[in-house]
Amino acid sequence: MDILAGKVKMTQQSVNTAMNPTDMLDRQIRLTARDVTVHYGAKQALHGISIDIPDRAVTSFIGPSGCGKSTFLRCINRMNDTIEGAKVGGTIKLDGEDIYDADLDVVELRARIGMVFQKPNPFPKSIYDNVAYGPKIHGLARSKTDLDEIVVSSLRKAGLFEEVKDRLNEPGTGLSGGQQQRLCIARAIAVSPEVILMDEPCSALDPIATAIIEELIDELRENYTIVIVTHSMQQAARVSQRTAFFHLGNLIEEGVTEDIFTNPVNKQTQDYIMGRIG
Amino acid sequence: MTDTTLPTNAAGNATRALVRKSLARRHRDEMLFRWAGILSIAAALGFVAILFGMILAKGMPSFWQSTLHVEAYFDPELIEGGPRPERQAGASEADYQKAISDWQRAVTLSNWNAIVDKAVRTAAPDFEIETRDLLKLVTSAARFQIRDLYFANPDLLGQTVPVTMLGSANTDNWLKGTIDRNQPDERQQLAVSTRQLADQLVANGAIRFDFAWHIFTNVDSRSAPASAGLAGAFMGSLYMMLIVIVLAVPIGVASAVYLEEFAPKNRWTDLIEVNINNLAAVPSIVFGLLGAAVFINYLGLPRSAPLVGGLVLTLMTLPTIIIATRSSLRAVAPSLRQAALGLGASHNQTVFHHVLPQTFPGILTATIIGVAQALGETAPLLLIGMSAFIANIPANPLDSATALPVQIYLWQGNENRNFFEARTSAAIIVLLGLMLLLNAIAIFLRTRLERRA
Amino acid sequence: MNALVVAALLLVLLTLSYQIGWSRSRKLAQGGTETRLHSRPIYHGVLVALFATLPAIVVLGLWALFSDSVAHNFILSQLPASVSQLPPVEVHAAVGRVQAIANGFGVIGQPSPEETAAAGSFASFQRLSFLAVIAAAAALGAGGLFWARRRIGLRLRARTEVEIAIRIALIACSTVAILTTIGIVLSLLADAIRFFTFISPIDFFFGTTWNPRFQSAGTGSAGAYGLLPLLWGTVMISIIAMVVAVPIGLMSAIYLSQYAHERVRNVVKPIIEILAGIPTIVYGFFALVTVGPFFAAAGDAVGLDINATSALTAGVVMGIMIIPFISSLSDDIIAQVPRAMRDGSMGLGATKSETIRKVLLPAALPGVVGAVLLAVSRAIGETMIVVLAAGNSPVLRANPAEPTSTVTVSIVNQLTGDADFTSPQSLVAFALGLTLFVMTLLLNVMALYIVRKFREQYE
pLDDT at A4 over 60: no
Residues C440/C373, Cβ–Cβ less than 8 Å: no
- Nearest chain C residue to A74, by CA: C347
Residues B317 and B245 in one domain: yes
Element holding C92 (H helix, E strand): helix C88-102
What is the DSSP code (8-state) at residue B141? Answer: T
Between vectors from CA A259 to CA A257 and to CA A263, what angle results, nearest 5°?
140
**pLDDT score for B10:** 58
Residues C254 and C128 in one domain: no
**pLDDT score for C298:** 94
- Domain C-terminal end among C98, C131, C156: C156
Does the distance separating the beta carbons of A82 and C344 come in below 8 Å?
A: no
Residues B303 and B402 in one domain: yes
Q: Is residue B12 part of a domain?
A: no
**pLDDT score for B9:** 55
Q: For A194-221, what is the mean pLDDT?
A: 91
Residues C276 and C358 in one domain: yes
Q: How far apart are CA C274 and CA C57, in angstroms?
A: 45
**pLDDT score for A14:** 40
**pLDDT score for B354:** 84
Q: What beta strand segments (E) does B258-378 contain? A: none
**Which of B27, B249, B290 to mutate to probe the C interface, most C CBs <10 Å?**
B290
Residues C245 and C370 in one domain: yes
Cβ neighbours of A192 in B, within 8 Å: 8, 11-12, 15
Residues B371 and B257 in one domain: yes
- In angstroms, the separation between the Cα of residue A108 and the nearest Cα of chain C is 7
Q: Is residue B161 part of a domain?
A: yes
- In angstroms, the separation between the Cα of residue B4 and the nearest Cα of chain A is 8
Q: How far apart are CA B311 and CA C176, in angstroms?
A: 12
Q: Which residue has the higher pLDDT, C38 or C304?
A: C304
Element holding B132 (H helix, E strand): helix B131-135
Nearest to C437 among B92, B282, B412 (CB): B282
Residues B251 and B372 in one domain: yes
Residue A27 in contact with partner chain B when CB distance is under 8 A: yes
Residues B282/C177, Cβ–Cβ less than 8 Å: no
Confidence band for C234, pLDDT divided at 50, 70 and 90 = very high
Residue A34 bridge partners (DSSP): A91
**pLDDT score for A7:** 41
Q: How far apart are CA B340 and CA B337, in angstroms?
A: 5
Nearest to A115 among C342, C347, C457 (CB): C347
- In angstroms, the separation between the Cα of residue B35 and the nearest Cα of chain C is 9
Does the distance separating the beta carbons of B3 and A27 come in below 8 Å?
A: yes
**pLDDT score for A110:** 92
pLDDT, tens digit, 9 for 90 and up, residues A11-39: 443 444 344 445 455 558 889 999 999 99
- Rounded mean pLDDT of chain A? 86
Q: Is residue C148 part of a domain?
A: yes
Residues C141 and C244 in one domain: no
Confidence band for C283, pLDDT divided at 50, 70 and 90 = very high
Chains with 3 or more CB pairs closer than 8 angstroms to C?
A, B
Cβ neighbours of A105 in B, within 8 Å: 23
Sign of CA dihedral C414, C417, C421, C424: negative
Q: Which residue has the higher pLDDT, B25 or C31?
A: B25
Residue B4 in contact with partner chain A when CB distance is under 8 A: yes
Q: Is residue C286 part of a domain?
A: yes
pLDDT at A59 over 90: yes
Does the distance separating the beta carbons of B290 and C384 come in below 8 Å?
A: no
pLDDT at C241 over 80: yes
What is the SS3 assignment for B69? strand
Residue A138 in contact with partner chain B when CB distance is under 8 A: yes
Give the end-to-end CA distance of chain A in Å, rounded to a whole number: 16
- Nearest chain B residue to C323, by CA: B44
pLDDT at C364 over 60: yes
- In angstroms, the separation between the Cα of residue B247 and the nearest Cα of chain A is 46
Residues C237 and C112 in one domain: no
Does the distance separating the beta carbons of A137 and C358 come in below 8 Å?
A: yes
**pLDDT score for C220:** 52
Does the distance separating the beta carbons of B23 and A27 come in below 8 Å?
A: no
- In angstroms, the separation between the Cα of residue B445 and the nearest Cα of chain C is 19
Does the distance separating the beta carbons of B19 and A108 come in below 8 Å?
A: yes
Q: Is residue C198 part of a domain?
A: no
- Closest to B382 (Cα-Cα) out of B414, B404, B398, B406: B406
Does the distance separating the beta carbons of A133 and C340 come in below 8 Å?
A: no
Q: How far apart are CA B33 and CA B28, in angstroms?
A: 9
Nearest to A112 among B3, B16, B21 (CB): B16
- Closest to A268 (Cα-Cα) out of A251, A255, A252, A250: A252
Residues B282 and B373 in one domain: yes
Give residues with Cβ within 8 angstroms of A193, minimum separation 6: A111, A112, A113, A114, A224, B12
Question: Which domain does B235 fall in, by range?
Answer: 231-452
**Which of B19, B23, B27, B31 to mutate to probe the A interface, most A CBs <10 Å?**
B19
Element holding B161 (H helix, E strand): strand B160-166
Q: How far apart are CA B421 and CA B411, in angstroms?
A: 8
Q: Is residue C445 part of a domain?
A: yes
Q: Is residue B152 part of a domain?
A: yes
Q: What is the full DSSP assignment across C333-370?
A: HHHHS-HHHHHHHHHTT--HHHHIIIIIHHHHHHHHHH
Does the distance separating the beta carbons of A134 and C349 come in below 8 Å?
A: yes
Residue B28 in contact with partner chain A when CB distance is under 8 A: no
Residues B70 and B188 in one domain: yes
pLDDT at C58 over 50: yes
Residues B189 and B246 in one domain: no
Q: Is residue C335 part of a domain?
A: yes
- Domain C-terminal end among C129, C156, C183: C156
C109: left (phi over 0), alpha (psi -120 to 50) or beta: left
- In angstroms, the separation between the Cα of residue C16 and the nearest Cα of chain B is 24
Q: What is the full DSSP assignment across B182-193?
A: TS-GGGSSS-HH
Cβ neighbours of C254 in B, within 8 Å: 37
pLDDT, tens digit, 9 for 90 and up, residues C377-435: 999 999 999 999 998 888 888 889 999 999 999 999 888 766 577 788 888 999 999 99
What is the DSSP code (8-state) at residue B158? Answer: T
Residues C152 and C282 in one domain: no
Q: Is residue C174 part of a domain?
A: no
Amino acid at B328: S
What is the SS3 assignment for B266? coil
Q: Is residue C9 part of a domain?
A: yes
Which of A46-55, B261-270, C224-233, C395-404 has the weakest average pLDDT?
A: B261-270
**pLDDT score for B337:** 83
What is the DSSP code (8-state) at residue B85? Answer: P
**pLDDT score for A114:** 92
CB-side neighbour CA atoms (13 Å) of C229? 21
Q: Is residue B42 part of a domain?
A: no
Residues B409 and B269 in one domain: yes
Residue A199 bridge partners (DSSP): A229
Task: Determine phi and psi for A38, rounding to 5 degrees.
Answer: -135, 135
What is the SS3 assignment for B103? helix
Q: How far apart are CA B173 and CA B171, in angstroms?
A: 5
Considering only residues 210 to 269 of chain C, which have any Cβ-Cβ distance to chain A shorter than 8 Å? 261-262
Nearest to C350 among A121, A124, A137 (CB): A137
- In angstroms, the separation between the Cα of residue A102 and the nearest Cα of chain B is 15
Per DSSP bridges, beta strands A43-54 and A29-40 are antiparallel
**pLDDT score for B1:** 38
Residues in chain A: 278
Amino acid at C368: V
Sign of CA dihedral C89, C91, C94, C95: negative
Residues C234 and C144 in one domain: no
- Nearest chain A residue to B7, by CA: A223
- In angstroms, the separation between the Cα of residue C267 and the nearest Cα of chain A is 17
- Nearest chain A residue to B21, by CA: A139
Q: Read off the CATH number of the domain in which B298 is found.
A: 1.10.3720.10
Nearest to C347 among A84, A114, A138 (CB): A114
Confidence band for C459, pLDDT divided at 50, 70 and 90 = low
If one counts the domains in chain C, the total is 2
Residues B372 and B293 in one domain: yes
Residues C238 and C324 in one domain: yes
Nearest to B281 among C104, C377, C419 (CB): C377
pLDDT, tens digit, 9 for 90 and up, residues C62-87: 888 888 888 888 888 888 888 878 88
Q: Read off the CATH number of the domain in which C334 is found.
A: 1.10.3720.10
pLDDT, tens digit, 9 for 90 and up, residues A161-172: 999 999 999 999
Residues C135 and C230 in one domain: no
Give residues with Cβ within 8 angstroms of B220, minimum separation 6: B228, B229, B230, B232, B233, B389, B390, B391, B402, B407, B410
Give residues with Cβ within 8 angstroms of B329, minimum separation 6: B256, B257, B260, B261, B355, B356, B359, B362
Q: How far apart are CA C374 and CA C367, in angstroms?
A: 11
Residue C453 in contact with partner chain A when CB distance is under 8 A: no
Residue A72 in contact with partner chain B when CB distance is under 8 A: no
Residues B210 and B267 in one domain: no
Q: Is residue B237 part of a domain?
A: yes
Residue C458 in contact with partner chain A when CB distance is under 8 A: no
pLDDT at A118 over 80: yes
- Nearest chain B residue to C375, by CA: B281
Residues A123/C363, Cβ–Cβ less than 8 Å: yes
Does the distance separating the beta carbons of C188 and B29 come in below 8 Å?
A: no
Helical H segments across C110-157, by residue range = 113-151
Sign of CA dihedral B34, B35, B40, B41: positive
CB-side neighbour CA atoms (13 Å) of B211? 3
Between vectors from CA A111 to CA A109 and to CA A114, what angle results, nearest 5°?
100
Q: Is residue B53 part of a domain?
A: no
Cβ neighbours of A134 in B, within 8 Å: none
Residues C234 and C110 in one domain: no
**pLDDT score for B452:** 62
Classify each residue of B299-324 as buried b or exposed e, where b means 16 or more C-beta atoms within 10 Å of its C-beta. Answer: eebbbbbbbbbbbbbbbbbbbbbbbb
pTM for the whole structure: 0.86
Number of H helices, E strands in chain B: 19, 3
If one counts the domains in chain B, the total is 2
Between vectors from CA B366 to CA B234 and to CA B433, what angle results, nearest 5°?
35
Q: How far apart are CA C141 and CA C126, in angstroms?
A: 22
Residue C358 in contact with partner chain A when CB distance is under 8 A: yes
Per-residue pLDDT of chain B (453 residues; tens, 9 = 90+): 334 434 445 566 788 888 888 899 999 999 999 999 999 999 999 999 999 999 999 999 999 999 999 999 998 888 888 888 888 777 778 888 888 898 999 898 889 999 999 999 988 888 888 888 888 999 888 888 899 999 888 888 889 999 999 999 989 989 988 888 888 888 888 888 899 999 999 998 899 999 989 889 888 888 888 888 999 999 999 999 999 999 999 999 999 999 988 888 888 888 888 889 889 989 999 999 999 999 988 888 888 899 999 999 999 999 999 999 998 888 888 888 888 888 888 888 888 888 888 888 888 888 888 899 999 999 999 999 888 888 888 888 888 899 999 999 999 988 888 889 899 999 999 999 999 998 888 888 878 877 665
Residues B151 and B267 in one domain: no
Does the distance separating the beta carbons of B3 and A139 come in below 8 Å?
A: no
- Domain C-terminal end among B218, B241, B261: B218
Between vectors from CA A78 to CA A72 and to CA A82, what angle results, nearest 5°?
105
Does the distance separating the beta carbons of C347 and A188 come in below 8 Å?
A: yes
Residues B90/B145, Cβ–Cβ less than 8 Å: no
Q: Mapped to the 3 state alphabet, what secondary structure does chain A carry?
A: CHHHHHHHHHHHHHCCCCCCHHHHHHHCEEEEEEEEEEEECCEEEEEEEEEEEECCCEEEEECCCCCCHHHHHHHHCCHHHHCCCEEEEEEEEECCEECCCCCCCHHHHHHHEEEECCCCCCCCCEHHHHHHHHHHHHCCCCCHHHHHHHHHHHHHHCCCHHHHHHHCCCEHHHCCHHHHHHHHHHHHHCCCCCEEEEECCCCCCCHHHHHHHHHHHHHHCCCCEEEEECCCHHHHHHHCCEEEEEECCEEEEEEEHHHHHHCCCCHHHHHHHCCCCC
**pLDDT score for C222:** 67
Does the distance separating the beta carbons of B7 and A223 come in below 8 Å?
A: yes
Give residues with Cβ within 8 angstroms of C135, minimum separation 6: none
- Domain C-terminal end among C139, C156, C173: C156
Does the distance separating the beta carbons of C107 and B30 come in below 8 Å?
A: no
Question: Which domain does C99 fall in, by range?
Answer: 2-156
Give residues with Cβ within 8 angstroms of B420, minimum separation 6: B225, B411, B412, B414
% of chain A at pLDDT higher than 90: 55
Residues in chain B: 453
Nearest to A133 among C261, C340, C348 (CB): C348
Q: Is residue C212 part of a domain?
A: no
**pLDDT score for B30:** 94
**A99 CB-contact burial (10 Å; exposed 0-12 / middle 13-18 / buried 19+):** buried
Residues B159 and B200 in one domain: yes
Nearest to A138 among B8, B11, B19 (CB): B19
